[in-house]
Amino acid sequence: MRSAPLLSHPTRRRVAFFGSPAWALPVLEALQQHHQVVLVVTQPDKPAGRGWQLTPCPVAAWAEARGLRVEKPAKLRKNPEFLQFFRSLGLELAITAAYGKILPAELLTVPRFGFLNLHPSDLPKYRGPAPVQWTLINGEAETAVCIMQTDAGMDTGPVVARWRTQVEPHETAVELAERLRDKGITLLLQVLADLEHLQPEPQRGPASHAPMLQKEDGKIRWNQSALQIYNRHRGVQPWPGSWFVFRGKRVRVLRMRPALGIEGLAPGAVQPGPEGLWVATGEGGVFLQEVQPEGKKPMPALDWARGARLGPGEVLA
């Protein structure tokens, strides 16, 4: 595996792009700037807003506004019409970034150089739809972004470029995902400049799966250590966010940090102080800085504690 330096006048490739969320937009923008994007494929429009009107995903909206050909197939498997159309494009390559669907084998062989995927993890670690989130939740010290040749499995193909980096101690999933994506764009452009000479390497080492987050993944486990709670908090941003239950109602934690100075209290027990709300954990404690009670606006955690008449030692669920 290697990555070639960017050529001063790289060949403009005829490519298709598969992606849907806002996170993938800068990838498409870079491809549009440096190559010929003849097709953009996204998830179908979904109901959104107060009127539940069908709304295109961010990638589709951006591409349509610029006159690019956009397709939004509900399914790719057993879709002969789309397959025939895809074959007619004379593609050199297709690129995926957070598209959200597994591609059928018959589609993968259509472009001359197949499909490449920009994946923000140190493959084979954290294959699947939420690699950055689980990297943080599990407290990994290092991660990577990979450019991978797509095969019929879930993120199982050989890697053609990789960049490793330390995980910053206070990075959220949003921040880390954007940093990895931006470096991945550079790698991707390097790969496209030298497609004819790639040296793919099979993934090696133990594999792990990063499933889509569920709402319950944001629930704070007060019996865990302060560091584990903080890592989970970083990993579940912006959704589902960190939350706990107090007197039957959910309270979302918007800002927190690990804390020292709490001893002898049961996990979840609170101790209001002049600077905010301290909460004991299985090991150490956390300092809640900003919260959002159910049905209310964000507020300082200490204001919430006073309004809720929290007493010292009261336990959060």
pTM listed for this prediction: 0.93
Q: What is the pLDDT of residue 261?
A: 66
* 270, 310 Cβ separation under 8 angstroms: yes
Total number of domains in the chain: 2
SS3 269: strand
One domain, residues 119 and 29: yes
Q: What is the pLDDT of residue 86?
A: 98
Distance CA 260, CA 284 (A): 6
CATH code at position 301: 3.10.25.10
Distance CA 165, CA 122 (A): 10
Q: Which residues pair with 272 in a beta bridge?
A: 277
Q: What is the pLDDT of residue 9?
A: 46
Both structure tokens of 95: 């690129």
One domain, residues 95 and 130: yes
Q: How many CA atoms lie within 13 A of 112 on its CB side?
A: 10
One domain, residues 225 and 175: no
Q: What is the pLDDT of residue 10?
A: 64
Full residue range of the structural domain in which residue 178 is found: 14-197
Does residue 8 lie within any of the structural domains?
A: no
Does residue 313 lie within any of the structural domains?
A: no
Q: What is the pLDDT of residue 313?
A: 78
Q: What is the pLDDT of residue 2?
A: 43
Phi, psi values for residue 101, rounded to 5° = -135, 150
One domain, residues 286 and 152: no
**Residue after which a domain boundary falls, among 148, 171, 197:** 197
Both structure tokens of 262: 């709490």
One domain, residues 87 and 220: no
Radius of gyration of the chain (CA): 23
- For the chain, residues with pLDDT lower than 70 are 1-10, 261-262, 275
Which DSSP symbol is given to 273? E
Does residue 23 lie within any of the structural domains?
A: yes
**Residue after which a domain boundary falls, among 197, 232, 262:** 197
One domain, residues 274 and 132: no
* 192, 185 Cβ separation under 8 angstroms: no
CATH code at position 99: 3.40.50.170
One domain, residues 29 and 129: yes
Which DSSP symbol is given to 86? H
Tell me which residue has tokens 């995927």. Answer: 117
